[in-house]
Structure formats: structure tokens, C-alpha cells
Amino acid sequence: MKPLPIHSYAMSQLDGAEPTDAMVPLPPPGANARKPRLATLATQLAERAVSTLEGAPPSPLAVYFGTALGSLTETAAFLENMIERQEAAPKPRAFTYSVHNAAASRVAQTMKARGENQTFVHGEISYAVALWSAQLAFTRDATSVLVGAADETSRYVERARTQCCPDTATSPVDEGGAMLLSLAATERPAIATIRTVAFARPRDPQQWLAAHLADTPVDQLLHGVPTDHATAVSTLAAETLPYVETVGTHPSAGCVALATAIATIADGHRSTVGVVTASRFGDWSLVVVGP
Amino acid sequence: MKIVITGVGIVSAAGRGIDATVDALRSGRSGLGELSLFESARCAAFPVAEVTEPIPASTPRASALATLAARDALSHAKIEDPSDVALTLGICVGGLFESEPSVAALVRGETPDDSVWPRHECAYTTHRVARELGVHGPALTVSTACSSGAQALGLASELIRDGSATIALAGGVDAVTRLTFSGFMSLLAMDPEGCRPFDRDRAGMSLGEGAAFLVLESEASALERGVQPLAEFAGYGNSCDAHHPTAPDPEGRGAESAMRIALTRANVTDLSTVDYVNAHGTGTPDNDRSETAALRRVFGERVPDVSSTKQVFGHTLGAAGAIEAVVSVLTLTHNFLPGTPGFVTPDPDCLIPLGESRDARPGIVMSNSFGFGGNNTVLCLRRWVTA
């Protein structure tokens, strides 16, 4: 498939990292009826990603977004209100923003993005599926594309994660996201290129990954895979690094890791970086980024 | 590459399988009835289209519904070993049917049932279907509100086109939950009389639940397997209104755009060859008016036959686009057009839909699905003929 050029990116603020122009602070925790949390984060990321352009991106702008858990803050806020009022006329606003595609829709509404608008909810590899879909759109007739992923936390998410994923309890940051901008017709040079996007439910993940990396070798491999696969994965590139150590363990952490990979490429520190992610449902993805 | 549909599976308030569905569509039988899935005096004031097929209580409801329909679709397509098949699922509320009481317990300060959390995520349902059926091809889950099921079909066609899969199992599912019921009640979007699409006196939608799956593959793959295609998956279009979080663009411009993209990708140059549109037709005043505007912008004065089957199935949210895709396939294979149960009195602001089903032999049909956030997905199917 045609490589996807990346012209700018934005990512959530990382713990302990020096703020850069590409970093966006996380919205304050808790429900805010006027500013749905995940949608606000996604919109801030999108606005930051396009802020490097002179004027608006070419129309129609398409949006491909990934989120594993969606707008749980709004879902819980509506349920709280529903229970408090014993189902008598709960406030509709939180319900409106409880749908998984609320973030991508808000991005579209804010930026007048009338192109394709898709939200993928496929666990930790949602961002890779969004990238695949963006790459396809770019191969067809898309003019400008925003692609990324984000996940938020809340007391419900924390409860769920500690119950179903106790090994992820220690995390530098446990929410965040990133958004990338790709333009079809522009004289502006790309800062990086997405060369490969692959995802699968492999019977043998290591074999699947090794086969892909044999076709597309990388200098550095950032990975978010279970500990029982980490040792084997660490043999597949000259340099490997578990990305959870820098970007966190939230479901969209792979997308933030991809943004850091793009920064590495843009700075000329590496020539190819791979980001590999495994979901707790057995899905794996590999994204390779180069100059 | 010509992509075809070789199998369908469906479970809804109309029953399970093709025969039950065709019977309900031909007779215009409403699937609406009294709420029995959970106790709620307020929700019970509105009719709902529940699945009556027995569902084991030990299986998450959405997963069980999806697995039933997916298994039937594979069987219909004569696929015995689905291990390399791709799987795409559209879903809106995920495992909320099971996790809702635990969230409520936390809200009340009580100890929740923590066993439900791993099954809350939308991707769990996809995973569960894959595990139950032994599917190991690429899988993805998409959630674009009420267009999710249709979007899953479009994405399945892309997986086949880009060589990621030869055969794809694509569909949608959602179960009725207290949250969705209360949510649409809070938006004053539910009709206590039951939905009446395009009717002058319509007052909103009716919720439903169900699942539908379709098997997509290249025509070459189907013929090589010795399976006769049911229909050609000719094209699909997706767009965003970028207008409002819930209300559609009053002029229907986003829906118009999605229809035009679908028709272009399907190589439909003569609009008079489109014989039928299965409308999104929820029965809300805004949707039906906006959809009418969009259809008139695309087709001018010669709008094809249009009907809404929402009273047969209820509005099944993430499943709706897939269920209505199955309906569209059935119009081609069973030579009829379904009517619009609930429609009685024309609205001067809306098109006049087919009231009752009738025999027909459509060549090209479209299925519209629109969702929250102004998300529009349109499918275009064509009668399959031997080359």
C-alpha cells in the first residue's frame, strides 16, 4: 500500500518529559458537561496537529480515530445522573457524548471535517487499525487526513483495569493520545512516513512479527507486548525498548509511542522505527515509520 | 475486483434466519412489544423489539447474539473452516448489558461484580465471536454509533481489496440496555406509540436489539469455491455532517455526500437504475425530514422506492446497518420490496415511503445508515448475474 506521509503530529504531555510544541496537556479529570473529556483531548490534539499549517487543511478532511474504552467519563456521568434521578429525565448531554465516536465527531464538528469519519474500538491496536484505514483512504482519493487515538481514565476505568489487568498497575501515565496529520497534495515536505501497517490475530505472534520485520527491518523497535513475549521480541531489532516505560500502559499508548517514533525520525536520530503492540484479546499490530 | 456476498445470518425481534426475516418483512409484522429484559417502569412505557431466541445467561448478550448470526452466515456461505477469514464488527454499546449494574453499584457506593469488566469493552465481543468460531484472520471493531454495522461491511470490503483477506465475515450487533433506553428517552427521541417512519404524526424511534453478519469475498473466490453469490457488494460511502453531536444536518448534505460516494464507487452512472433504498428511517422528526432532503438532492424528482423497516426490528443501533444490509440482500434474492410498518399518514415535509411490501425484481438497492455525530454510511448492492 502507498506509504502515508506525516506532516505534523501532536501528543499528550508525558510525565517527566520536557514540554514541546507538539505536546498537549491532558484535560482536568472528571466530568464537565460543556467539555466532554475524551472529545476535548482529541480536539486539542487535532487542533495542535493542524496548527503548523497556514490556514485550514484541504477539504474534505477525514478523521480516523482509535479508542479502546471510549467516553467512559460521560457514560458514567449519565448513569450516575440516571440513578440519582431514578430514571426520571436524566440530563441528555452526557448521553450524547457517551458514544465511542463522540471524540471523532467533535473533531469533525470543530474542524468542519466532512470527509470520512471512523472510530475504531479494537483494544490496544485501535490506533493501528485507524492508520490502516487512513492509509487506504490516502491510496484512494483523500486530500487530508487526521489519524490518531486516545484513551482517558476515570475511577471506573481504574477499577476495571485493576481487576482485569493487574500487571499494568504501575504506569508513568495512564491516559493520553496522539494525532497525526497527513496531506496529499502539498509542497511541504513530510517529517516522516508510515511505511507499514499490519495487524492480525496470529496463532504464533513471534513468527508473524519476525516475518514482517524480515521484510521491513527497523533500527529500533518500541514494543508494548506481554512480558512472556518481550524477551523474544527484543531479539528482532538492533535496539528494542518497551514503550510503557515512557508513554504509559493505557490502551492508546501505542499511538503515543508512534508519535515519539515520528519525533525520532524527524530529528534524524533513527532511519526506521517500528512500533509493535499486542492487545489483551490476542491482536497484534506493527507500524513502521521512516523518513 | 468484484466483491460479492455469499452468506447472511440474522437474529432479531423478527426471529432467527432468512425465512423468519422474509416472512416478517413481507407481512409487515411489527417486532415491537413489551420490555422484559430488565425492570423499569419508565422504560416500559415504550415498546421495544427484543430478541426472543433463547440466550444462555452465562454468555454476554451481545456476544451471544453476534455469535449466532455469524455462525449462520458462515454456514450459509458453506464455509466449514473459517480460520483464515477476516472479521469486522460494528457495535455501539459493547458489553454494557452486563457491566451496567456494576457501574451502578459503584455509583451507589456498593461492591460491584468485578467479573464483568473484561467483557465491557467493544473489542471483547469481536474477540468472543472469533474465539467461538475459530477465526484467526485480521479482525477489527468499529463504532460509529448507528452506522457501525454498515461501516463494518465497508471495511470488510477494504480488507479484501487490499489483499489482507480473501473472505471476510462482517456484521453488527447490539443488545438493549437501560442506558440506551434512558438516553434516548432523555433526548425525547422515543415514540410511546412505536416508531412511525415518515408518518406525519411520528414522534420518535423504538429501540431494538439483534445481530446480523454477511460473508464477503471476491467473486473469483466464491466461484472457485463453487458458491453462487447472493449479491454484489458494489460500493459504500462514508461521510460526516460536522454539524451537531446528535441532530442531522437539516439539508441532509452529509447523507447526500455518502450516497454519492457509494454510487460512484458502485459505478452507477444512471440513477434511474437504482430501484430501492432501505432508509435509515428512524421515525424521529429530524431524521426522516433530513433523509428526505438528502434523497431528493441525490435523485431529484425521481426518488426510487423507499421504505423503513425499523418497526420490524426496532432501531438496533450498532446492528442496524448490518441488519438492513441483510434486508437489502433479501430484496434481491427473494424478489420483493419491504414496506414501512407504522406509516399511515403522509407528511408534506417527507417522501412517501412504500407502505406495504410488494413483489419486485430490483437490480440495484441502497441501504442508508446514519449515526450520532453526523456519521453517514451508505451501502450499494447489485443483483449478481453470471458473467
What is the tens place of the pLDDT at every residue in A75-93?
888 988 888 888 877 889 9
| d(CA B243, nearest CA chain A) in Å | 6
d(CA B89, CA B357): 30
Task: Give the number of other CB atoms < 10 A from CB of residue B361.
Answer: 11
d(CA A254, CA A241): 12
What is the tens place of the pLDDT at every residue in A92-131?
999 999 999 999 999 999 999 999 999 999 999 999 999 9
Cβ(B194)–Cβ(B342) below 8 Å = yes
Q: How many CB pairs under 8 A join A and B?
A: 190
Percent of chain A residues past pLDDT 90, beyond the cut: 67
Lowest mean pLDDT among A49-53, A159-163, B40-44, B112-116: A159-163
Q: Report which of residues A124 and A161 the model is more confident about.
A: A124
Q: Do A199 and B40 touch (CB under 8 A)?
A: no
Q: Where are the alpha helices (H) located in chain A, listed in sequence order?
A: 37-50, 72-84, 92-96, 102-111, 126-140, 155-164, 205-215, 227-233, 244-247, 253-266
Which ipTM did the prediction report? 0.97
What is the tens place of the pLDDT at every residue in A187-215?
789 999 999 999 999 999 999 999 999 99
Mean pLDDT of A227-246: 91
Residue A30: pLDDT band (50, 70, 90) is confident
Residue A169: pLDDT band (50, 70, 90) is very low
Tell me what pLDDT residue A171 has. Answer: 56
Query: Residue A166 above 70 pLDDT?
Result: no
* B residues 255-294 lying closer than 8 A (beta carbon) to A: 257
Q: Residue A121: what are its φ and ψ, rounded to 5°?
A: -125, 55
Q: b or e along B362-379 (b: 16 or more beta carbons within 10 Å of the residue's beta carbon)?
A: bebbbbbbbbbbbbbbbb
**Per-residue confidence in pLDDT tens, chain B, 387 aa:** 999 999 999 999 999 999 999 999 999 999 999 999 999 989 999 999 999 999 988 899 999 999 999 999 999 999 999 999 999 999 999 888 888 888 888 878 888 888 888 888 999 999 999 999 999 999 999 999 999 999 999 999 999 999 999 999 999 999 999 999 999 999 999 999 999 999 999 999 999 999 999 999 999 999 999 999 999 999 999 999 999 988 899 999 999 999 999 999 999 999 999 999 999 999 999 999 999 999 999 999 999 999 999 999 999 999 999 999 999 999 999 999 999 999 999 999 999 999 999 999 999 999 999 999 999 999 999 999 987
Cβ(B95)–Cβ(B199) below 8 Å = no
Q: Do B239 and A60 touch (CB under 8 A)?
A: yes
Tell me what pLDDT residue B246 has. Answer: 85
d(CA A10, CA A23): 6
Q: Do A96 and B187 touch (CB under 8 A)?
A: yes
Cβ(B248)–Cβ(B156) below 8 Å = no
Mean pLDDT of A174-191: 91
> Which chain A positions have a beta carbon within 8 Å of B374's beta carbon?
105, 108-109, 117
Tell me what pLDDT residue A165 has. Answer: 63
Mean pLDDT of A241-257: 92
Say if domain B3-382 classifies as CATH 3.30.420.40: no
d(CA A256, CA A247): 6
Which of A85, A110, A121 is the best substitution to test chain B (most B C-beta atoms within 10 A)? A121
Q: Which of B43, B92, B122, B146 is catalytic?
A: B146
Count of residues in chain A: 291
Domains (ranges, CATH) in chain A?
4-183 (3.40.47.10), 192-290 (3.40.47.10)
Tell me what pLDDT residue A85 has. Answer: 83
Phi-psi region of A90 (alpha: psi -120 to 50; beta: other; left: phi over 0): beta
Q: Output the pTM of the full model.
A: 0.97
Query: Taking the domains of chain B in order of start, what are their residue ranges?
Result: 3-382
Q: Do A95 and B142 touch (CB under 8 A)?
A: no
d(CA B256, CA B261): 9
Q: Do A201 and B141 touch (CB under 8 A)?
A: no
